[in-house]
Amino acid sequence: MIRARIATAGAGLLALLALAVDPVAAQTSLNDELITGLNLELLYVAVVITVIVEAVLIYTVVRYKDNDEPKPTQENRRLEITWTVTTAVILLFVGAAAYQVLGVQAIGGVTAASNPNAVEPATTYDFPGAVGPSQAEDDETVEVEVIAQKYYWTYNYPEHRVNGSVVSATSTAGEPLVIPKNRPVYFHVASVDWLHAFHVPDLGLKQDAFPEKYNTIKTVAYEEGTYQLYCAEYCGVGHSAMLGKVKVVSQEEYQQWLDKQKSEMKSESSS
């Protein structure tokens, strides 16, 4: 009777926890989707293990609570082999699941993957490390150079120029980093002084900004909106104020924004 009650309670708890962790909100980006998916897979496994362990613990306490003459545990090789193999299987699952996600360019980083068939990256500095998109996705890809500096962000769009000058925006002017949704975006992240870190939590983006060295990361944003950008590496007295915004817009609005930037640059150059 006791075993049946414990099993029923454990099954009920497992069902409730599974419902509680079921994703209900749409993911904001490819990165967020991959990270959330991995976290949920590991959480489901952890829930099952927790329920089993707690069920065994409760059963043992109830079963032997009135035992006045406890005896030493006898050697049980079958049990020892079982929990050793079970632990190995769990670790293999966690490793395989994590590797599948970390191996994706959007998570592991384009620079780490280093595509030999990539086109020349669009950058303004002669720093090493940047990797351009593959030839197959070059026409669809947007490349943005993200430059960190005490204590603000500069967003360059090297593919778009007016009289040799690059379309650019800065966080000091309250200007956001604008990208279109549903298109691959390559961020070439670097610093011109010391260590910083490009971090947009709601889009699942995080990359160190090394001095005079690019790290290229990739994303595909799914949801329009404005997302908070932080510096995630303590970089001095102005660290807490080194904030910015990433604005995800439709393709039409993105093109309108580019046209407006170019028009203003032409007006300034002609005046």
pLDDT at 10 over 70: no
pLDDT at 11 over 80: no
Type of residue at 270 = S
Span 147-169, mean pLDDT?
92
Reading the block at residue 206, the tokens are: 């995080």
pLDDT-derived band of residue 23, with 50, 70 and 90 as boundaries? Answer: very low
Let me know: does 208 contact 38? Beta carbons within 8 Å: no
First-to-last alpha carbon distance for the chain, in angstroms, is: 89
Sequence ranges of the domains in the chain:
2-63+80-106, 125-270
Q: CB neighbours (10 Å) of residue 48?
A: 15
Let me know: does 239 contact 252? Beta carbons within 8 Å: no
Instruction: Name the average pLDDT for the chain.
Output: 85
User: What's the CA gap between 182 and 66, in Å, rounded?
Assistant: 64
Question: Cα 82 to the chain's mean position, in Å?
Answer: 36
Let me know: does 269 contact 165? Beta carbons within 8 Å: yes
DSSP helix/strand/coil, 211 = strand
CATH code linked to domain 125-270: 2.60.40.420
From 72-86, 195-209, 215-229, the region with the lowest mean pLDDT: 72-86
Span 151-180, mean pLDDT?
92
Nearest to 174 by CA among 268, 245, 264, 239: 245
pLDDT digits (tens, 9 = 90+) for 214-229: 999 999 999 999 999 9
Let me know: does 162 contact 144? Beta carbons within 8 Å: no
